[in-house]
């Protein structure tokens, strides 16, 4: 098991049927000790309880990831419980259609930046000391729509936020290279999640949650120890 005895922090791991749940299950199956962060207290506690009941080690940390004090406190709690962080996975985020930019609601823009970019920035800032101590890896979630040539019409707020996440990844990869910390991103098309199935139906070429989880585990492992500053596009 590639992560036996190692600590993995996953944000956005609360909701059932979403990406964070699958990522947590994949790391748990490889022996990781998990710290699960999510703003939804009941849901993140339920995810941790399910993993614990299956014999894994999982700590639930309800946390507003846009709050610097809250993220700093969460990082301290993880350090006290588990020590250095071998992998940080910034799954937290969300999608929202904004329509044509000229008619878009500014409140939606601020929300998309907060849930996608601010959460990633605050989490990275708080957990970097722990990741440095383990010479670990950080994986970010951007979107295929935010890549050059991506289909982004009608979602300007979302792609602007996800483009910011991609730039954040590149900056962290450059700043942390000499400290042994790697940073990469995955850029999937639509993923087969409970919320996407509800809103878009089943007749879509989804990326499977398990494929996402396998990719994140690989990027976080010693198998990818020479990979940093890269973005992997997943999906058709």
**pLDDT tens, position by position, 48-73:** 999 999 999 999 999 999 999 999 99
> What is the per-residue pLDDT across 156-199, written as a single tens digit (0 to 9) for each?
999 999 999 999 999 999 999 999 999 999 999 888 888 888 88
Neighbours of 171 (CB within 10 A): 14
Strand order in the sheet with 87-90: 57-62, 33-38, 7-11, 87-90, 137-141, 182-188, 231-234
The overall average pLDDT reported for the chain is: 96
> What is the per-residue pLDDT across 200-218, written as a single tens digit (0 to 9) for each?
888 788 899 999 999 999 9
CA dist., res. 45 & res. 38, Å (int): 9
Neighbours of 166 (CB within 10 A): 19
Q: What is the pTM of this model?
A: 0.96
Return the domain boundaries, the chain: 7-234
> What is the per-residue pLDDT across 118-157, written as a single tens digit (0 to 9) for each?
999 999 999 999 999 999 999 999 999 999 999 999 999 9
Which tokens hold the place of 169? 């990844």
Write down the pLDDT at residue 195.
85
Helix (H) or strand (E) holding 176: helix 156-176
Helices (H), 88-155: 106-112, 119-134
Decide if domain 7-234 falls under CATH 1.20.1640.10: no
Neighbours of 85 (CB within 10 A): 26
* DSSP symbol at 191: B
> What is the per-residue pLDDT across 73-82, written as a single tens digit (0 to 9) for each?
999 999 999 9
CA dist., res. 184 & res. 171, Å (int): 10
Write down the pLDDT at residue 122.
98
């Amino acid at each position: 098991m590639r992560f036996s005895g190692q600590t993995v922090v996953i944000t956005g791991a609360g909701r059932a049927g979403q990406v964070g749940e699958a990522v947590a299950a994949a790391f748990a199956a490889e022996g990781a000790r998990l710290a699960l962060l999510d703003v939804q207290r009941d849901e993140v506690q339920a995810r941790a309880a399910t993993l614990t009941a299956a014999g894994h080690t999982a700590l639930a940390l309800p946390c507003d990831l846009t709050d610097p004090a809250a993220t700093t406190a969460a990082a301290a709690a993880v350090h006290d419980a588990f020590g250095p962080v071998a992998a940080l996975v910034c799954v937290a985020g969300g999608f929202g259609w904004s329509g044509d930019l000229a008619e878009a609601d500014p409140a939606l823009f601020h929300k998309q930046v907060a849930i996608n970019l601010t959460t990633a920035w605050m989490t990275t800032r708080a957990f970097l000391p722990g990741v440095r101590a383990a010479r670990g890896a950080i994986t970010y979630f951007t979107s295929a729509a935010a890549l050059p040539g991506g289909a982004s019409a009608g979602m300007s707020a979302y792609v602007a936020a996800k483009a910011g996440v991609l730039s954040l990844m590149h900056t962290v990869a450059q700043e942390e290279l000499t400290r042994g910390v790697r940073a990469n991103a995955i850029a999937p098309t639509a993923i087969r999640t409970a919320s996407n199935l509800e809103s878009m139906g089943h007749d879509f070429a989804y990326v499977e949650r398990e494929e996402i989880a396998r990719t994140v585990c690989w990027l976080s492992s010693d198998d990818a120890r020479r990979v940093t500053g890269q973005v992997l596009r997943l999906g058709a």
